[in-house]
Chains A and B, each alone.
Chain A
Amino acid sequence: MKKFSISMILAVVMIFSVFSVSASALDCTVGYAGVNNYKPYCSKGDRAGVNYCRNLDAQIQRIYISFGGTRTTKFKYENNSVTKTNLLSTNNKPATWFIWSGHGFNEWSDKNSFHLPYYNGYTHKSLVNGGELNPNINFSTLDASFKHKYVVAYTCNWLANGGSTTKQENIFKTMKGTRIMMGFASVMFLDSREANLFGLYMESDTITDAFINAAKVYQPQNSDTVIARVMGYNGAKTDHIYNANANAPYYTSSPSSFSTFTTIRIQPK
C-alpha cells in the first residue's frame, strides 16, 4: 500500500512537472515604446507608432494563447511617456519581445536613434545641444543594451550602417541576449496594418520570413527604395514564435556567432 501511495505521488508530481515545463516554455513578456503624437513639442509629423505596437502586441498575445501559453506586459510606453529615462530603464527590463515604433534618425556617423517626443516639456528646436538631435530626445544605438530576446524596430534607419563598420558594429553591440533584431536600413513607411500581417505570418513562417513578408506587402508607398533587414544570432535563423529558445550570448562575447540574415531592397516604380 505504501509502495502504491509513493508511486501515485511520484506520478502526480511527474505529471505536474510536465505541465509546468510546457506552460513556462510558451509564456512570453512584451515591452513596447510607441509614438503617435510627436506634436506639440516636436516639429516632426505624427505617426502611427502606438498603433503598430498595440497591433503587434495583440498578435503576439493571440499566438501565445493559442499555444496554451501566456503573455505578460513587461513595460508599455506611449507618446509622452516615451522618454530617454524610460527607455534607458528598459535596458534592465528584459522582455521576450521588445517593439519600438516612431521616428528614427541616422544623422550621425557612428550611431542611429529612436527619436523621442518628450523631454521635460521643452520644444525640441529650443534645445541648445543639437535641437532635434539633442541626446535627451534620442535613444541611440550607443544607449541601447537589449537583453530582450526579439527586437522589432519599426522605424526608419535603426539598422542603417551607411557603409561604416563602426556604425554596424555599434548596432550589433546593442544585442546583449537578443536572438533576432528586425528593422529597416532606410526610410520606411509606418503602416500599422503591417503589424497584423507580421503577426499572422508568424503562425506559419519563421520570425525572419514573417517580418520580411509583411514588409514586402506594405513597403514602399511612394517613390523611395525601402531596405528591410533582419540580423542576429546565427542559431536563431530558423526561430519560430513557438520555439522556447534561450537568450543568445552577448554579441561582444562572441561576434562571429552573429550576422545579418537577410536584407531586402524593395524598389519603387
Chain B
Amino acid sequence: MKRIINAVIAALMLILLASCTGKANTAVVPAIQFAAPGAEEIAPPEMASSIKLDSTTMQVYYIDIPDGETMFKEFNSVSEIASDNVELINKTDDGYWLYKAGDGTLLIDTSAGSWTYSTPLPSAAPDNMPTDAQAQQIAAKEIADSGLKIGSTSDSGVLSYTTDGDEKILQKDVIFYPTVDGKNVYGIFRTTVGIGEGGKTVYFSKQSFEPKAGGEVKLKSIDEVKQSISKGEFISNAAGASGTATITDYELCYYCDGVAKDGKLYVQPVYVFSAEINNAGESEQIKVFVDAASQA
C-alpha cells in the first residue's frame, strides 16, 4: 500500500514538474490599428543582416476605459477650467458627449476614454503671453494640483504653437508625452495644456493615463517582421523619398492607437526601426513602425 501511495505521489510530482517546465502562457493583444501618413509611402524596406531581435516577449499594458461620469469628475478636478455652468449640447450614438462648459466647450469621448476642454481661439495675438518656461510651469502645476493620473512624465513638456497669419502666437500648448516602462509611446498617448493670454488655461486635453500591466505578449521573430513588411503592414515617415530603405537599427517601444478593443485601450509593443533611404541623391534617416506582437 505504501508503495502504491509513493508511486502515485511520484507520478503527481512528475506531472507537476512537466507543467512547470512547459511553455509559459503569454497574453494575446489585438493588432495595432495604425493611422497611416497621407503622403507617399516607401517600398518595403530591407533589413541589414546585422539586425538581431533580442527579446521574445514584452509586457503589454491597458486601461479599462473610464465611464463618462469619471471623466467629468476629472475635468472638474482641474481648478482653472472646472465649471458649475455646464450645459449639454449633444450626446451622440458613437459615444461623444459635448457640453458648453463655462467659457469653453467640453468634449468627452466615452469610446476612447479621453476628454478635451477648449475655448475659442483669440481673434488677435495677445500682448501678454507668458514665456515658454512660464507656460510649462503653469501646465505642470495644473496637472500636479489636479491629481490627474496622466502617466509617467519626466520632462517639462513639449511646446507647440498656434499662430495667426503673421506668425504671432495665439496660444502655447504644452504637450506631455508619458513613457511606459521607460519607453516612448507613439500613437495617441499625451496630455496637452494650452496656455493663453496672461497665463490662463484655455485648452486641456487628457489622452493619456496610468496603464495596468496586462501580461507578457510574444513578440514577432525576425522572419515574422520581414513577412509583415513584405505585406505592407508597416508605416513610415518617409515622405518624398524614393528607392528602397535599409533598416539599420531598432528600438522596442509602445504604441497606443486610441481604439477601444473589448472596452480597453492598449499600450502595446511596436518595433521602431531606424532606416536609411535615398532621397534625391542624399541619404535620409527615417523611421519604420511595425506591430511587434506576434499573432501566430
Contact = CB atoms under 8 A, between A and B. Distances in A.
A binds B: yes
Interface of A: 43-49, 101-107, 115, 132, 154-157, 187-191, 193, 196-197, 200-201, 203-206, 208-209, 212-213, 216-218, 221-224, 231, 237-238, 259-269
Contacts of A44: 40-41
A265 B232 contact: no
Given A189-B38, A205-B118, A223 B237 contact: yes
A190 B188 contact: no
A157 B39 contact: yes
Given A45-B232, A200-B107, A102 B237 contact: no
A221 B186 contact: yes
B187 A221 contact: yes
A206 B132 CA distance: 27
A53 B94 CA distance: 17
A191 to B, nearest CB: 4
B16 interface: no
Contact of A267 (B36, B90, B118, B160): B160
A263 B162 contact: yes
A268 B177 CA distance: 8
Interface string B204-241: 01010000000000000000000000001001010110
B158 A269 contact: yes
Contacts of A262: 121, 162-165, 170
A265 B161 contact: yes
A132 B296 CA distance: 36
A187 B37 contact: yes
A167 to B, nearest CB: 15
Contacts, number: 150
Nearest to B259: A193
Given A197-B96, A200-B96, A204-B98, 13 more contacts: A43-B41, A115-B40, A156-B37, A156-B38, A156-B239, A187-B38, A193-B258, A200-B98, A205-B105, A213-B118, A222-B187, A222-B235, A237-B123
Contacts of B100: 204
A200 B92 contact: yes
Given A196-B96, A222-B237, A259-B165, A155 B186 contact: no
Contacts of B268: none
Contacts of A157: 39
Top 10 closest pairs, chain A to chain B, by CB: A260-B165, A191-B35, A269-B177, A156-B39, A45-B41, A259-B165, A189-B35, A264-B162, A156-B38, A190-B38
A46 B233 CA distance: 11
B264 interface: no
B6 to A, nearest CB: 62
B22 interface: no
Contact of A223 (B92, B186, B192): B186
A196 B107 contact: no
A81 B287 CA distance: 33
Interface string B275-296: 0000000000001010000000
Contacts of A132: 40
